[in-house]
Amino acid sequence: MNGWRKASASGESTDCVEVRSAGELVEIRESDLPEVVVRTTPRKWAAFVRGVKDGEFDRYADFSRP
C-alpha cells in the first residue's frame, strides 16, 4: 500500500484531504479524522477529479448558500 498524499497547495496544513492507492482501490480521508476512510475505484476517483477540475462542484464551494 502506498503512503497518503495531499495536495501540494496544502503546504504544512494538517487540515486537508489525503488520498492513496490501496491495491485495486483508491482510499480518501481527511487528515484531521484519519480513522474515517472512503474507498472507491480508480475510475470513479478519476471521474471525481475531472469534475472538480471542470468546476462541476463549484456551487458547493459556499455552503452558506442553499
Q: What span, in angstroms and rounded, lies between the C-alpha atoms of 21 and 28?
A: 9
Q: Where are the domains of the chain?
A: 5-54
> In this predicted model, what pLDDT tens digit does every residue of 18-53 receive, in sequence order?
999 999 999 999 988 999 999 999 999 999 999 989
| pLDDT value for 58 | 86
How many CA atoms within 13 Å lie on the side-chain side of 30? 4
Burial class (CB in 10 A: 0-12, 13-18, 19+), 30: middle
Q: Give the predicted TM-score (pTM) of the model.
A: 0.76
Task: Give the chain's radius of gyration (CA, Å).
Answer: 13
| pLDDT value for 42 | 96
Confidence band, pLDDT 50/70/90 cuts, at residue 63: low
| DSSP code at position 2 | P
Q: Which has more pLDDT, 9 or 27?
A: 27
CB atoms under 10 Å from CB of 28, counted, come to 16
| DSSP code at position 4 | P
